[in-house]
């Protein structure tokens, strides 16, 4: 029973890079697991997988298909229709320009 516990601890430590990548929702979790599984025994492979698991997962920034100019034009239309006040229009316009 003690040997099984030691084996479980060893496996958790061995797969630590893959566990970290999984917990961080890293985009390359599968590749990190494979590197860890196949080359982790070389220690250099384990270190590489560990460092990779701590890198920032690349995030895809989704942009609206509308440009800032299009959004401001829509706001101007709403202002002309009386839906937005001058102050609301300027506040929204400032928010859009700050994002750019």
Summarize pLDDT for 76-89 with one digit per residue, the tens.
999 999 988 999 99
Q: Quick one: pLDDT band at residue 64, thresholds 50, 70, 90? A: low
Average pLDDT, the chain: 89
- Is residue 57 pLDDT above 80, yes or no? no
So what's the pLDDT on residue 26? 92
- Is residue 60 pLDDT above 80, yes or no? no
- Is residue 15 pLDDT above 90, yes or no? yes
Angle at 28 between CA 23 and CA 34, to 5 degrees: 95
17 Rama sector, left if φ>0, alpha if ψ -120 to 50, beta otherwise:
alpha
């Amino acid at each position: 029973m003690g040997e099984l516990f030691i084996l479980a601890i060893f496996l958790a430590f061995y797969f630590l890079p893959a566990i970290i990548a999984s917990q961080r929702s890293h985009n390359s979790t599968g590749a990190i697991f494979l590197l860890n599984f196949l080359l982790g025994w070389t220690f250099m492979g384990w270190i590489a997988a560990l460092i990779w698991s701590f890198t920032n997962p690349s995030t895809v920034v989704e942009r609206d298909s509308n440009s800032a100019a299009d959004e401001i034009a829509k706001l101007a239309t709403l202002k002309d229709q009386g839906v937005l006040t001058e102050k609301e229009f300027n506040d929204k316009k400032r928010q859009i320009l700050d994002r750019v």
